[in-house]
Structure 1
Amino acid sequence: MTEYYIPGATPAFVRAGQPFTLSGVQYPRKWLALASAGDLTEIGAAAKPAPGTDEVVEQGETGWVVREMTGSEEEALFAVAKAQKLADLAAMRRTVETAGIVRNGAIIATDRESQAMLSGALQLVQDDDQVIIDWKADNGWVQLDAAGVTYIAREVGLHKQAAFSREKVLATAINACTTAQELAAVDITTGWPSNTEEPE
């Protein structure tokens, strides 16, 4: 939300959507959001400038003040950016891990509930290898004998592990970054196991 400095207003620093008073006139909270460029110029409203990559914009006594970041501020900002990228990475891994796999034409769900159900089916055929499992794939029913259940369970497990392994590689790369440029260069969208292609 845009923030403005308005000389003589109360308060002087106002966010769009916030009411303010100027020259005895009470301006409603939506006035800034609906004002034209001419309206803003007429009351002397100055929008908060966008800082450069190594700058901070602060409220000064007579308007906006742009200054260079201190070393500690740069470190704090970089730490926040790194933490956010690690969070984005974890979200990407969860998406890949749980988005399913294709094996022998069957679309196998790999969400956490389906993983638990598959573990139960695997336990069942381990107790009785003559059991036939009616398994509902995302694109239809398949019948699985003990070998089939074991195969699917192994493929789901390998897919899950591949997703975590890729996350580990990328997390290591992110944690090794010491500059914003290095952090930006780490592409967390590539190198993941496929959710739609059969393995070669």
Structure 2
Amino acid sequence: MTRKALLTELGPVEIETAEPHTTFIANGIRHPLSVLQRWTAAELAEIGVFDIHEQSAPTDHRVVGRSLEMVENLVVETLELEPIPLAELKAEKLAALRNRRWVAEAGGVTVGGVTVASDEKGQGKIAGAIQLFEKDPTLEAIDWEAQPGAWITINAATAIATGIAVGRHVQACFTQARALNAEIDAAENAEQLASINIEEGWPTTAA
């Protein structure tokens, strides 16, 4: 629901709609908040209620204050802004980069037409399978749950090939993350930082 303001003698005041507020008073009459959605704009205007025309802050600034004023029968919100320090913007982008790397890393790897898990648990399991084949030369094959509910049988060669594919996929994700990390560190201002796209360039799952 669009934020609403009540016009008072002191100017427009935003109507509180969050809990525990259930009513508001206009012209000495208490109204339920439901009228803000049920009544038309003209009906609300008759009791002094108007939509707030919101403003948005640029990504390199934060809001430190808000004010409302009536301008030509419109309630307009004015924002008081302050620039966010470049170091703080970089920290936020680096945190987003780490999360994006993890999403790419855990996306799975397709080996021989079968997609296998590549998250930390999947990496540990394939490493354990390879180690098992190495320690028990008599072992010919094992049952393997490539993905939840997707079962296959693999031999030592397949286990090793899968392990290599997973390892290369993970390394490629770290290589991409390192390159983007360097770009973020090198950004000299907020504009350069904002231009760095952390969503592209990640490895595909095919191997």
TM-score (norm 1): 0.75
Instruction: Note the 1:49-60 alignment, pairs <5 A.
Output: 49-51=54-56, 53=58, 58-59=66-67
- Distance of 1:99 and 1:161 partners within structure 2: 13
Instruction: Note the 1:7-156 alignment, pairs <5 A.
Output: 7-8=7-8, 12-16=13-17, 18=21, 19-42=23-46, 43-51=48-56, 53=58, 58-59=66-67, 66=78, 69=81, 73-76=82-85, 82-134=90-142, 135-138=144-147, 141-145=152-156, 147-156=157-166
Change (3 A) 1:40 1:87: farther
Bigger mean CA deviation after superposition, 112-121 or 176-185 = 176-185
- Distance of 2:43 and 2:116 partners within structure 1: 59
Consecutive unaligned residues in structure 1, runs of 5 or more? none
- Distance of 2:94 and 2:180 partners within structure 1: 9
CA apart distance, 1:194:
0.8
Q: What is the Cα-based RMSD across aligned positions, in Å?
A: 3.3
- Distance of 1:159 and 1:16 partners within structure 2: 49
Q: Larger % of strand: which?
A: 2
- Distance of 2:165 and 2:182 partners within structure 1: 26
> Partner of 2:176: helix, strand, or coil?
helix
> Partner of 2:15: helix, strand, or coil?
strand
Number of residue-to-residue matches in the alignment: 192
Consecutive unaligned residues in structure 2, runs of 5 or more? none
CA apart distance, 1:4:
3.2
- Distance of 1:168 and 1:35 partners within structure 2: 55
- Distance of 1:170 and 1:47 partners within structure 2: 40
TM-score (norm 2): 0.73
Q: Over residues 101-155 of structure 1, what are the superposed CA-to-partner deviations in whole Å (9 max), with x where a residue is unaligned?
A: 112223222122222211211221221233223234346523212x432232122
